Amino acid sequence: MATEASWTSDEWRTKLLHCCGSRRWVELMFAQRPFASLEDLLAKARTVDAQLGRADWLEAFAAHPEIGTKTQTISTWEAQEQSGAAQAAAATLDELSACNQAYKAKFGYIYIVCATGKSAAEMLAIVQDRLRHSPASELVVAAQEQAKITQIRLTKLLAET
């Protein structure tokens, strides 16, 4: 891919870190270069995802803002991903906030969901269901959601260049 060839090593790492907040994921992906196509990039990301452990996933999760939080520090991508929550009624956001707190208390990290295309009500129903999971099974689900987010962000990364 011509665009990636023009990026410095530091630019690559910064761009990859914006797609997934795990430094180990970034280094493993960086080592996979060059990428022949978007499909190759996405396939290699799935391969790298399979190599991550609990600490790597927790680091990736920590890079996200809490679902439904209105803050000045979220990126354009994060704002787009969470746009369904931005349109929600105050009562729904309050309930989502309470569930976010319960989730973090139970699992030790923020609620991770691929929010793209989901309304606040959908995300609320999902977190309520996931609060019934065991910590071990929820980590698997959260990692799968992070992987979906990463795939979307990698696609956006190449679309913007």
Structural domains in the chain plus CATH codes: 2-159 (1.10.3330.10)
Q: In this predicted model, what pLDDT tens digit does every residue of 20-71 receive, in sequence order?
A: 999 999 999 999 999 999 999 999 999 999 999 999 999 999 999 988 765 5
* Residue 134 pLDDT > 70: yes
Is pLDDT above 60 for 13?
yes
| Residue 18 annotated among the catalytic residues of the structure | no
Angle at 127 between CA 110 and CA 21, to 5 degrees: 30
Report the chain's mean pLDDT, rounded to a whole number. 89
Active-site hit among 15, 44, 64, 130: 64
Percent of the chain clearing pLDDT 90 (strictly above): 75
Rounded Cα distance between 153 and 20, Å, is 8
Q: How many CA atoms lie within 13 A of 13 on its CB side?
A: 8
| 71 burial type by CB count under 10 A (0-12 exposed, 13-18 middle, 19+ buried) | exposed
How large is the angle between the packed helices 135-159 and 9-19, nearest 10 degrees?
A: 130
